[in-house]
Structure 1
Amino acid sequence: MSIPESSHRQYRQTLILGLIRSVDELFPQEQLKIAYSILDGIYCEFDNSFISVREVTRIEDHLKKWVADDQHLQFQLEDDGFFHCEVNGKIINSLYPPLPRSAPIYPFRLIHYPPGFILLFSNPDHPEKLAPFIPPEKLAATFLETQRWGENLHLAEVKDVNQIIWEQHSQELICLAEALHEKKVSLIADRILKQRKNVRIIMISGPSSSGKTTFAQRLATQLRVNGLRPVALSLDNYFCAREETSKDADGKPNFEALEALDLPLLNIHLQSLIEGEEIECPIYDFASGRRKPHGTKMKLLDDQILVMEGIHGLNPRLLSSLDRNHLFRIYVSALFQLNIDPYNRIPTTEVRLIRRMVRDDKFRGISPENTLVQWASVRRGENTNIFPYQEEADVMFNSSLLFELNALRSYAEPLLISVPQEHSQYPTAIHLLRLLSHFEPLDISKVPFNSILREFIGGGIYSY
């Protein structure tokens, strides 16, 4: 049985406080850093030393004993936006409240993951058990690369970015972050060019509000620089007729299910395009729930490459009959944010939620309350259709920008303040307001017009 995200967050925060206590008691000379989330856990490390398997085992045993002892936890929300929690006589700041006591609690594990370790939590959909841990090597490498890049620029925490803004040097920061994005997009385009003899189809996927549309258009520009002509093909045109589509829990057609697509026809058409043949691409009419009588003629020329974007882009079952060498899969997501302090990371899920809320209000006429209500359903779809397949990607693109919450604050705050106190999502709105309070506002006029951030705040050069 699943549990609410707020309850699961308390369970996680309780274990994090217990972890801080355990490290403090076992290794008082070390500084623990909670670096980033990874799968259903968090990756942790010591500032200046490698953690051995034996040390991880000691920490896990100590933490399990603390949980079993049913410790009472003292915490209080203060004006600085943190919950102040007492750990071994010290006050630890926390973005989230823990449970009142350390037990009973859902299962957990500590996994040695050099140079640090992972504190693995249960999933809120199945809190009573732990999922098998399969090391996400590509995802971890992307996290580590971004983390080290920030450290090389002496940007380790949010306060470092705030200081740059206070000193009126934000333009340099923006240029550096955007230059990194452009360099990564260019490198991906170069890699595709090197595999040009085989690669005919580019698949782009990622969770909600990752900036996939802007990424796809920036990639298209770099592909053109390399002499390739990208051609877009929408997966939406391959939906089955509405009456043939399975229903979700609310009795509505489940267009997020892989089976909602006509997979045999899609595979036949793509194989034909790879072989240089002409196809008649269907046109799906959402009003009638059926394809139109006539489609669009399409043929892939020698200098053209097909670009497809969709939630199932990384799922091996989508194009199961095609030669894998013809495909280049890209995973796009906001993967990394700076910590507020060593113990308080910024969840990238909440960054994407803020992005989505700002975009929904500005371009889609959706109220912040409705965005917050829909988020749980969005997350369930991601957990089913996207996250399990992220390691299938040939390359990952981190769409996070070090300054983005500073830039989004002035847009998001009025929306969150407008959420009525009696609304079910009011506690979430208050939490996000507390989170944003740690970010110095940034003048968005300095953000480039091709920035991924423009997909959410507007003023960009691309059409969406």
Structure 2
Amino acid sequence: MTDAFYDSHCRVQAEKMNDLAVSDPKQLVALSEQRYEAQIRNVCSYICNNMERSHIVLLAGPSASGKTTTAHKFRKMLKEEFYVNSYVVSLDDFYIDQCRLPTLPDGSKDLETVYALDIDCIHQCFDQLTNTRRASLPTFDFHTASRSIITNDITLGDHEILIVEGIHALNPLITEGLDASKFFRLFISVKGEYSLNNEVVLTHEDLRFIRRCVRDYYHRDSSLERTTGMWASVRAGEKKYISPYKCYANLTIDSLILYEPCIFHHFLCPLIEQMDPKCDIYPRFERLYHILQYFAEFDRHYVSEDSLLREFID
């Protein structure tokens, strides 16, 4: 059914989606979520059919791609539909202490580089997990910006999976010196775009930027100015440390939720209306404001409680 929304270039047609958003938003939400869930189910099936080979899943993707929610979606579906237990951990827990972080030419800390992670510790933990199924993983205290004294002790049974999510999860450095066949590799990002009158009006990068702006403003106490200021370095880090390695993925996931412009319209447009038109970032947000006007708006209560979008609006 969702195929009916796409044009010959695999872009979502805003006109057709808007028609359903107005006439039956509940159905649009259901169809959109089913499209995403089908991808999760396909990956879970692949993992379970290959469990004799590996018990570790590496899930990578750029900022605001929905890695965290998707990792937990895997865990839930593996348990409920495939009767397989799994654990979810983040590569963020392998961060080195802030005082030891590499620096950029301007002297600021480089948070995007793979070398912000404790590579030796990752190798040690992965080696133990692939050989003995046991490891004591570190945890990171983001309040102190240093490693916690608390560890995460993992023991994998014969029918258990470890899901490791992080922006650098597909970087070959992460598994260097280890048996590559012992890992499943997944890549997630927003791949879809929206067209109006056969012209692209909203790109996949636009959508990730909107996701991050909304999440950072409402839930991380970060202004639009701050998020915009960081975005250039985030994108530069993606091009250097993430995009080159997505070709290693066994499977890819498109985290686009078809109706998300209808929801983000409600969250982002009021913030743009409050902006000073003279500020440097206003032209960028003015463009997004006008684009979001193309999409029918409906209330957030239509969003499923377990939707990936909840990662950005709750």
What TM-score, normalized to structure 1? Answer: 0.62
What TM-score, normalized to structure 2? Answer: 0.90
Aligned CA distance change for structure 1 residues 241 and 412 (closer, same or farther; 3 Å): closer
Match for 1:206: what amino acid? G
**Residue number among 131, 139, 142 corresponding to 1:275 in the alignment:** 131
Q: Aligned-pair distance for 1:331?
A: 1.0
Match for 2:102: what amino acid? S
Q: Aligned-pair distance for 1:452?
A: 1.1
Q: 1: CA distance between counterparts of 2:146 and 2:194?
A: 46
Tell me what 1:436 maps to.
292
Q: Aligned-pair distance for 1:243?
A: 4.4
Q: Residue 344 of structure 1: SS of its match in structure 2? A: strand
**Residue number among 79, 84, 87 corresponding to 1:228 in the alignment:** 84
Q: Aligned-pair distance for 1:181?
A: 1.1
Please tell me whether Structure 1 or Structure 2 has the larger radius of gyration of its CA atoms: 1
Cα RMSD of the aligned pairs, angstroms, is: 2.4
Q: 1: CA distance between counterparts of 2:285 and 2:12?
A: 27
CA contact 1:417–1:429 (8 Å) conserved in 2: no
Tell me what 2:63 maps to.
208
Matches within 5 A, 1:389-404: 389-404=245-260
Q: 2: CA distance between counterparts of 1:336 and 1:406?
A: 15
1:183 maps onto 2:7 in alignment: no
Q: 1: CA distance between counterparts of 2:82 and 2:11?
A: 33
CA contact 1:336–1:348 (8 Å) conserved in 2: yes
Q: Aligned-pair distance for 1:448?
A: 1.0
Richer in helix (by share): 2
Match for 1:260: what amino acid? A
**Residue number among 26, 35, 47 corresponding to 1:192 in the alignment:** 47
Matched-pair identity in %: 28
Match for 1:253: what amino acid? K
Tell me what 1:356 maps to.
212
**Residue number among 331, 337, 354 corresponding to 2:193 in the alignment:** 337
Q: 2: CA distance between counterparts of 1:290 and 1:171?
A: 44
**Residue number among 297, 305, 312 corresponding to 1:449 in the alignment:** 305
Q: Aligned-pair distance for 1:324?
A: 1.8
CA distances 1:165-210 after superposition (whole Å, capped 9, x unpaired): 33x2222222111111111101110100000001211111111111
Match for 1:215: what amino acid? T
Q: 2: CA distance between counterparts of 1:243 and 1:443?
A: 44
Aligned CA distance change for structure 1 residues 438 and 303 (closer, same or farther; 3 Å): same
Match for 2:268: what amino acid? A
- Runs of 4+ deviating beyond 6 Å: 146-149
Q: Which has the higher contact order (CA 8 A, sep 6+)?
A: 2
**Residue number among 218, 226, 250 corresponding to 2:73 in the alignment:** 218
Q: Aligned-pair distance for 1:436?
A: 0.8
CA contact 2:133–2:155 (8 Å) conserved in 1: yes
CA contact 1:368–1:416 (8 Å) conserved in 2: no
1:375 maps onto 2:231 in alignment: yes
Match for 1:278: what amino acid? R
Q: Which runs of 5+ in 2 are unaligned?
A: none
Q: Which runs of 5+ in 1 are unaligned?
A: 1-145, 459-464
Deviates more, 1:258-267 or 1:351-360: 258-267
CA contact 1:284–1:292 (8 Å) conserved in 2: yes
Match for 2:182: what amino acid? H
Match for 1:235: what amino acid? L
Q: Aligned-pair distance for 1:289?
A: 5.2
Match for 1:265: what amino acid? C
Aligned CA distance change for structure 1 residues 302 and 415 (closer, same or farther; 3 Å): same
Q: Aligned-pair distance for 1:290?
A: 4.6
CA distances 1:276-308 after superposition (whole Å, capped 9, x unpaired): 253332334455555445644332222221111
Matches within 5 A, 1:46-57: none
CA contact 2:12–2:192 (8 Å) conserved in 1: no
Tell me what 1:325 maps to.
181
CA contact 2:140–2:147 (8 Å) conserved in 1: yes
Aligned length: 311
Q: Residue 233 of structure 1: SS of its match in structure 2? A: strand
Q: 1: CA distance between counterparts of 2:153 and 2:248?
A: 31
Q: Residue 330 of structure 1: SS of its match in structure 2? A: strand
